[in-house]
Chain A
Amino acid sequence: MGTVVSSSIREDTTTDDGRASDARELQEARERVDDAVARAQADLRWVDDVFSTWKPESPVSRLRRGEIRVEDAPPEVAEVLELCRRAREASDGWFDPWAMPGGVDPTGLVKGWAAQRALAIVRESGAPAAMINAGGDVAVYGRPAPGQTWRIGIQHPLARDRILLTADLAGAGAVATSGSYERGEHVVDPRAGAPTGALLSATVIGHDLGYADALATGLYASRGALLERISLLVGYHGFIVDGRGAIRASRGFPIALRGVEAVPA
């Protein structure tokens, strides 16, 4: 199993003042974006090679087995573990990579972190707006078209061809969903050390996808207890769908999620 990552990149065929771009301008912009996409893909592969807990020889697998120290791994491993420490604190311990069976497992944050990183590579290419979707965790910047916002549908946990809610993201923002409905049980309660099963899904919306991913994992594991804490985080919102299909959200959660803004465009 793995993660499908898709990118949606805005391509303008007119300049800012409304003039149609000429063939050379279009070609140059496309080449810059294509080059950035290729580098983003290479980066995702590299992250997978370093952080995969499924590859026995990845630095993180070796770290888990105690064969190497953090200092022996690429510096990004220490960077991710530091983010994990902060997310553990922010989540009151509900996201805890150190409580996983088999040794430290930053997977709950890495997917979002990697996607946010890939998006930054695309952004540097000069593309006016882009969205990256890493297996259902979404990060965006810019506007999909002038005057529009990115509209992210949050999948219905039971009826998979339906959208439960939509989040409009103006500027940079992220949506992460954790749930058991697609892959079977995969989120572990750090306090019990066993898979949790009470919720259908947990979603977190905020500035940064790595952080949102970790909080969604923690929110799912907490069976909703983390909602209180998320209410206190500036720029973050969350909601859960419980086993009976009822929804609970963090305080101040806009019901239709219209215009949830992380960072202004």
Chain B
Amino acid sequence: MKRSAIVIGVTAAGLAAVLSFKPHGVAGGGTQAAASAAALTTGNANVAGAQTVVGSVQQLSGGLGDIQVKVTAAGGRITSVGMAQMNLHGPQSQQISSNVIPQLEQQVMASNGGPIHGVSGATYTSRAFANSLQAALGQLKGGTNAQLATAGHGNGGLLQHQGGHDD
């Protein structure tokens, strides 16, 4: 039986700033538990000994709404990154009268349950995402073994952060 784990890293290749986040660290033990993720979380949130933290609520530019990032780590490595909440406003956010989408979704989820590894959707706004991610990483207990560095243009200082180190 082959044991595998998924390790997640995040980079924001920004237009105003570049954020690179690299998980670094000790052995995770290769434990992998089944995750049933229907929400916008990628990776394995249900890993033994995992801790989940949420970042700060960040406003999206242009008054589009706000987001809050959620991070799960186990054994010194990030195992999942997702949205704790995502509230968007704007012309597209009104309810649509048609119930076509919910029906189709229900059908698909019923036939296709199981972990979701990644989500394809419209582009996240990186500044807000990066700021919330940084706040989340700062809350990981016992050191994150994570490095969050920037090579910024214009606002280089904004995202600079060193995660706690225990190596």
Contact = CB atoms under 8 A, between A and B. Distances in A.
Interface of A: 1-14, 16, 18, 20, 23, 26, 33-34, 37-38, 40-41, 44-45, 47-48, 52, 54-55, 114, 128, 131, 133-138, 140, 144-146, 150-168, 175-184, 200-201, 203, 241, 243-247, 255-258
B104 A164 contact: yes
B101 to A, nearest CB: 5
B117 A151 contact: yes
Interface of B: 1-18, 20, 22, 24, 27-30, 32, 37-40, 42-43, 61-62, 64, 81, 83, 85-86, 88, 90, 92-93, 95-101, 104-105, 107-109, 111-112, 114-127, 129-130, 151, 153
Given A26-B27, A182-B125, 11 more contacts: A5-B11, A10-B6, A13-B5, A136-B124, A152-B118, A153-B38, A164-B101, A165-B105, A168-B112, A184-B90, A245-B98
Contacts of B13: 2-3, 5, 44-45, 47-48, 114, 134
Contacts of B22: 34, 37-38, 41
B15 A244 contact: no
Given A2-B126, A163-B105, A153 B90 contact: no
Contacts of A20: 3
B29 A13 contact: yes
Contacts of A13: 3-5, 27-30
A153 B116 CA distance: 6
A10 B9 CA distance: 12
A136 B121 contact: yes
Nearest to A165: B108
A9 B9 contact: yes
Contacts of B130: 4
Contacts of B125: 1-2, 182-183
13 contacts: A2-B16, A11-B5, A33-B7, A48-B15, A54-B16, A136-B121, A138-B119, A161-B83, A166-B108, A181-B93, A243-B96, A244-B98, A247-B101
A201 B122 contact: yes
Nearest to B95: A158
A245 B111 CA distance: 21
Nearest to B30: A13
B116 A247 contact: no
B153 A55 contact: yes
A10 B4 contact: yes
